[in-house]
Amino acid sequence: MSFLELRQVSKAYGVGPTEVHAISDVELSVDRGALVAVMGPSGSGKSTLLTIAGSLEEPTRGEVMIDGQTLSKMSRREKARLRRRSIGFVFQDFNLLAGLTAAENVSLPLELDGIPARRARAAGMEVLEELGLADRASHYPDELSGGERQRVSIARAVVGERQLVLADEPSGALDSTNGEAVMRMILAACKRGVAAVVVTHDAQLASWAERVVFLRDGRVVDQTVPPPSPESLLEPTTRQ
Amino acid sequence: MSVRHALLALLSEGPKYGLQLRQEFEASTGEVWPLNIGQVYTTLQRLERDGLVESDDSGDDERQKGFRITAAGDREVAQWLRTPPDLTSPPRDELVIKVLSAMRVPGVDVHEVIQVHRRYLVELMQQWTRLKEDEAEFDLTLALVVDAELFRLDSVVRWLDAADGRLKRASVEPPVVSTVPRLRRRMVVRR
């Protein structure tokens, strides 16, 4: 069963003649362990889709289900707990807290969830080590490069028992090498069973996903079919 | 792509046999560009005719012949490496022509045509990325070749995105017809 499911989700801002439909009738399901990319130009509704999928905003119509639970039937408190416990967000501008070290930033969601500081810190260090950032643990965000900051924010998104990672243009202003490192990390989380959605306008980034959904003017207009094995690229048809 | 110069570059490392050249060519391009053995021998013959390589004269059997680069061949490689490929004139791009044509064919939604191509390109990019994910992390040559292919395909997707946006804007606010005399817009088109 899908871990994340959007059913006929629409979101409109404003009323009457000023009403603007950010997304309309979006259907999306993401299984555990799957990486899905949502690709579209600026203003196509990508970020709205992500904030609704992450329970940060409510849809005007339609239902969102996470791990079989319908968000509209949950209280604000329950949703906040679900976000703290199960969902990791990655933003283009990292959103790290400037006054906390890398390790403190990563363990913060666990501490906010009531996990004792020592245990949270240990879990945070474990992720930083996995992502090759152990030597940056005590650095503050302004002492890190852009690529390192984004890797720390991914560590924060996958720390603990996170089951859903939602990333909004995660490679943002990073160069292609760092962008690739970011996608490899998200993919590694998926291989451990995490469901992930990456929204982006960047085809190279999107091509890391097993499925790419195309969004235009708030509607899903198309999606890729599962690609054949890459071996087909190397078939012995000699190009002259 | 210049097989001629790529083979010459391989010979600049030392004398080699035809079969060996083919294997090394394929390995050095991440096995992405397979090469026909017949093509290797024809190319070597031409290189020999042009005085860029020499063969040891051990009979008529091509497979037994070793080839080595000459001083003229070395100079040719050095010059080739530094000569920019011809990127000055735009290729006659089939995709551009399809999109331009789609704007004129009655009953055709150009955005839908653009999306068909966008999806195909992204699917192709997914395959290349999978290759990179699986193998290229440990194979530098393959990673470089795959990157080149991904950047090339990405540039086509970007063009489609730009065309999509431009056409959308133009349908909302039709472009003002300029009264300024048009520049001659004839470009030299490479075939």
Nearest to B127 among A228, A237, A239 (CB): A228
Per-state percent for chain A, helix, strand, coil, to nearest 5? 40, 25, 35
Give dist(CA A235, CA A239) in Å, integer.
10
**pLDDT tens sequence across A103-126:** 999 999 999 889 999 999 999 999
> How many CA atoms lie within 13 Å of A121's alpha carbon, on the beta-carbon side?
8
Average pLDDT, chain A: 90
Mean pLDDT confidence for A29-37 = 96
Q: How much is the pLDDT for A124?
A: 93
Give dist(CA A112, CA A88) in Å, integer.
13
B177 bridge partner residues: none
Closest residue of A to B157, CA-based?
A: A203
Residues of A in contact with B164 (CB under 8 A): 41
The CA–CA distances, whole Å, from A213 to A34, A198, A224, B171 equal 13, 10, 7, 25
Give dist(CA B152, CA B177) in Å, integer.
34
Give dist(CA B126, CA A180) in Å, integer.
13
Polymer length of chain A:
240
Percent of chain B, pLDDT > 90?
49
DSSP structure class, residue B17: E
Q: Please tell me if residue A41 touches chain B, with a CB cutoff of 8 Å.
A: yes
User: CB of B54 within 8 A of CB of B71?
Assistant: no
SS3 B178: coil
Closest CA to A145 of A102, A209, A89: A102
Asked if residue A237 has pLDDT above 50, the reply is no
ipTM: 0.87
H-helix segments, chain A: 46-53, 76-86, 102-112, 117-130, 146-158, 176-191, 203-206
Q: Please tell me if residue A175 touches chain B, with a CB cutoff of 8 Å.
A: no
Closest residue of A to B133, CA-based?
A: A184
DSSP structure class, residue A42: T
Taking the alpha carbons at both ends of chain A, their separation in whole angstroms is: 47
How many CB atoms within 10 Å of residue A73? 9
Closest CA to A212 of A220, A224, A202: A224
H-helix segments, chain B: 3-11, 18-28, 37-49, 71-82, 94-102, 110-134, 140-172
Residues of B in contact with A214 (CB under 8 A): 115, 118-119
Q: Give all strands of the β-sheet with B16-17 in edge-to-edge order.
A: B16-17, B66-69, B53-55
User: CB of B74 within 8 A of CB of B12?
Assistant: yes
Mean pLDDT confidence for A91-112 = 92
**pLDDT tens sequence across A136-191:** 999 999 999 988 998 999 999 989 888 999 999 998 778 888 888 889 989 999 99
Nearest to A206 among B31, B122, B133 (CB): B122
Q: How much is the pLDDT for A160?
A: 85
Nearest to B154 among A184, A203, A214 (CB): A203
The CA–CA distances, whole Å, from A71 to A3, A19, A88, B8, B82 equal 13, 24, 17, 65, 61
Asked if residue A238 has pLDDT above 50, the reply is no
User: CB of A161 within 8 A of CB of A147?
Assistant: no
Give dist(CA B129, CA B124) in Å, integer.
9
Q: Pull the structure tokens for residue B19.
A: 């079969």
Closest residue of A to B39, CA-based?
A: A240
Look up residue B12 and give its amino acid.
Answer: S
Q: B-side interface with A, Cβ within 8 Å?
A: 31-36, 39, 111, 115, 118-119, 121-123, 125-131, 133-134, 147, 150-151, 153-154, 157-158, 161, 164-165
Please give the backbone phi and psi of residue A21, each rounded to the nearest 5 degrees, phi first. -90, 110
Please give the radius of gyration of chain A, using alpha carbons only, rounded to the nearest integer. 19
Q: E strand or H helix at A63, and its extent?
A: strand A61-66
How many CB atoms within 10 Å of residue B182? 6
User: The whole model's pTM is what?
Assistant: 0.82
A30 bridge partner residues: A4
Contact A238 B126 (CB under 8 A): no
